[in-house]
Amino acid sequence: MMRYSEDKILIACARTKLDDKSVSEIKNIINSDLDWEYILRIVSQHSIGSLLYKNLKAVNAEKKVPKDVLNNLRQYYHFTVAKNLQLFNKLENVLKILNDSGIKIVLLKGTVLAQTVYKNIGLRPMCDIDFAVDFDGTENSSDTDMVRMSGESIRFKKENISQVELVQKIDIENPWLDVHYESLRGRDSTVKAFNIKGLYDNAIPFNIFNMNMLQPSPEHQLLHLIIHGDYFEKLIWLCDIAELVRCYKEIMDWQKVIRDAEQIGYKNLFFFQLYSARIILGAPVPDDVLRRLQPGRAQKYLIDRLIKEWKFQWEGKTAFNLGKPLKFHLLESLTFNRKEHLKRTIHRLFIRTINKIN
């Protein structure tokens, strides 16, 4: 069931800074008879409760929101802050060990986004912490304090092990960590993965806990978000892309973005995600970039239809209601350029349409 007003206000609030259009939409819609139970369910599913809370306050709309709903959103925000602080505190211990052992890592996704793009750790929920490590073929011995975690307790054990073994132990013993050793890969195993070595070659300094770490370049952050986000199982993943583009719009090397998309075989997926971020969340993606990434006319037409239909359908398995199998296969065929798969899917859709008419 489509809830136009509720979905409009969710999309208007799904950003860190409101433009005039979003402010106007929120102020107009907030006076409607909104289904707040639906809104709370969606913000929970798509991890945008903190953004909704922040932006409702920003336009002084709290008085229009039922008290129990506002309390729920406030608790969501404070819970996100507390959980992220807990993760960051755990991360600090691990980073000290890695730093002292001379192991360089590149922090990824939410860890970097929360501080550099969202600029508020309460706005970007995290369930784990990702980082990439490249040993460059070296196996240096590391006499270090090994961290072990059991619940909230931390124990240390002196061990003389290689750098590779150290990172592997940390990875295994800390389930809240997601360590990428060789490549960054999306949901589709047939598409070429992005080698982590490329992250290191272009990584930029990043200070956290008064330690010098590395973060991906804006272009590589965008690449990782796109291959990780797949089909926006959560709206926050589309927000990540839109906010990253806004944050780095003056320095983003779009030529490199296009080259990377072509090199790893994700050109159609790049188009779909960047186009969606622009259409739905107003991300400032240049026209020329979309033109150069744009698929064939038939594919572009079908993607337009899919985005238009799914733009406000947030209930279901994914943000674009991709629980519908045929539409999922259609989008998958389009974004990964599988022509035979696309032909079969369109044929199945055509047969189903004819059957409905009859």
* Whole-angstrom distance, CA of residue 100 vs CA of residue 144: 8
d(CA 48, CA 46): 6
Which residue is it, tokens 């991906």? 216
CA 213, CA 116: separation in Å to the nearest integer? 13
Which tens digits make up the pLDDT trace of 279-307?
889 999 999 999 999 988 877 777 777 67
State the average pLDDT over residues 309-319.
49
How high is the mean pLDDT of the chain? 78
In which band, very low, low, confident or very high, does the pLDDT at 102 lie, cut at 50, 70 and 90?
confident
103: confidence class by pLDDT, cuts 50, 70, 90: confident
Angle between helices 267-281 and 325-335 (to 10 degrees): 120
> What would you measure as the largest C-alpha separation in the chain, in angstroms?
75
- Greater pLDDT, 126 or 62: 126
Judge whether 40 and 68 are in contact, CB under 8 Å: no
Residue 36 CB partners (closer than 8 Å, separation 6+): 65, 66, 69
List 208's β-bridge partners, or say none: 211
Q: Is 217 helix (H, G, I), strand (E, B) or coil?
A: coil
Q: In DSSP terms, which residues pair with 331 in a beta bridge?
A: none
Which secondary-structure segment (H or E) carries 159? strand 153-162
**CB-based burial label for 162 (10 Å; 0-12, 13-18, 19+):** middle
Residue type (1 letter), 250: E
Do residues 100 and 212 lie in contact, with contact meaning Cβ atoms separated by under 8 Å?
no
20: three-class secondary structure by DSSP: helix
Whether the predicted model's global pTM rises above the 0.85 cut: no
Q: Grade residue 153 by pLDDT with cuts at 50, 70 and 90.
A: very low
Task: Single out the residue of 282, 246, 256 nearest to residue 116, CA to CA.
Answer: 246
CB 121 within 8 A of CB 81: yes
Contact 229/238 with Cβ under 8 angstroms?
A: yes
Alpha helices, H only, 30-160 = 36-46, 49-58, 67-100, 110-116
Average pLDDT over residues 236-249: 96
Q: Could you read off the pLDDT of 212-224 as tens digits, one per residue? A: 789 999 999 999 8
CB 138 within 8 A of CB 96: no
Q: CA separation (Å) from 16 to 50, 172, 257, 328?
A: 10, 35, 24, 30
Q: Which two tokens stand for residue 330?
A: 């259609």
Q: What mean pLDDT is predicted for residues 85-106?
A: 87
